[in-house]
Amino acid sequence: VQLVESGGGLVQTGGSLRLSCEVSGLTFDDYAIGWFRQAPGKEREGISVISSSTGSSAYADSVKGRFTISSNHAKDTVYLQMNRLKPDDTGVYYCAADYADLLLLAPTEFGLWGQGTQVTVSS
């Protein structure tokens, strides 16, 4: 099983990035895929999650209205479109898979993780 994130980088405040999470080695529709971030010295926090089977999604309050999660079943890939980025959005962004498909944002619910991609938002 592999989850591979890409799309991170350095962007100015107010800019946009699109992260990708390519999933392999599991049945895509059986899982919820979530995005998490971890800033230096802080705990990992859930940002957004999508059910691959239903398309339902959930967001943390801190990103509602700015971030959009989506999935492409043909490519077994989940995207996170991030708009109006702020310095507080800086961190390592991880995607993870949850077989329970409960649309929870708690990192402890997710058993399969990618290696992460760095997002830095400059002020």
Residue 101: band (very low, low, confident or very high) from pLDDT cuts 50, 70, 90: confident
Strand partners, 121: 11
Beta bridge partners of 56: none
Residue type, 74: A
Distance CA 8, CA 10 (A): 7
| Token pair 């989506």 in the structure block, residue | 70
pLDDT tens figures, 23-57:
999 998 899 999 999 999 999 999 999 998 899 99
* C-alpha span between 33 and 112 (Å, rounded): 10
